[in-house]
Amino acid sequence: MSTIFDKILDGEILCHKVYEDDHVLAFLDIGPIADGHTLVIPKERKAQLDQLSDEAAAAIGRVLPRICRAVLAATGASAYNVLQNNGGMAHQVVKHVHFHVIPKTAIGGLGINWPAGQLDGERAKELTEAMSAHLAPNG
C-alpha cells in the first residue's frame, strides 16, 4: 500500500531534504516534536524494520550516525533519541520504515514511559533459545 513517503520518494510531494544517497533519504519531520526532528528512511518500500533487506538495513546503518551528528551540529543539542516505530500499536502511523532522530533539550524532545520489570530466569532461557533458533544461518 502506498504511503506519503512513497510520494516523497517519487517526487510527487516536496520534503525538506537533509541527505540522500542511492538507498537512503533523510528529511525534516513535518510535525517536529523538537527543533531539528529528522526522519531517515530506506528507499526500499517496506512497512516494518523486520521486513527490511540486509542491504537496505546496512545502507541505513552506514549513514545514521552521520545524520545524527548533523542534527546535533545544526541544533546545538547534545542529547537525542532515535525512535523507530513498528505497527499501529507501537505508534507507527506511516507504514514505511523510518527512523526518527529527535534532539532532546530542556524544552523539547521525546517523553518516555519506561515501565521496567524484572527479568525472570526461566523466561530468559526460553526467549534466548527461541530467538537463537530464528537467528541461526538457516533460521
Residues identified as active-site: 98
Whole-number minimum distance, CB 69 to ligand AMP, in Å? 21
**Alpha carbons 2 and 12: distance in angstroms, whole number:** 12
**Interface positions, 73-102, toward ligand AMP (CB under 6 A):** 85, 91-94
Each residue 4-23 as x (binds ligand AMP by CB under 6 A) or -, in order, gives x----------x--------
User: Which CB atom, from 75 or from 85, has the smaller least distance to ligand AMP?
Assistant: 85
Q: How many CB atoms lie within 10 A of CB 73?
A: 10
User: Which CB atom, from 90 or from 136, has the smaller least distance to ligand AMP?
Assistant: 90
Q: How many residues bind ligand AMP (CB under 6 A)?
A: 12
By CB under 6 A, tell whether 49 contacts ligand AMP.
no
Whole-number minimum distance, CB 124 to ligand AMP, in Å? 29
**Alpha carbons 107 and 33: distance in angstroms, whole number:** 10
What are the strands, taking DSSP E only, across 36-78? 38-42
Q: What is the DSSP string of 24-81?
A: EEEEE-SS-SSTT-EEEEESS--SSGGGS-HHHHHHHHHHHHHHHHHHHHHH--SEEE
User: Which CB atom, from 5 or from 56, has the smaller least distance to ligand AMP?
Assistant: 5
By CB under 6 A, tell whether 63 contacts ligand AMP.
no
- Going by the DSSP 8-state scheme, the letter that residue 91 receives in this structure is T
User: Which CB atom, from 4 or from 70, has the smaller least distance to ligand AMP?
Assistant: 4
Cα-Cα end-to-end distance for the chain: 28
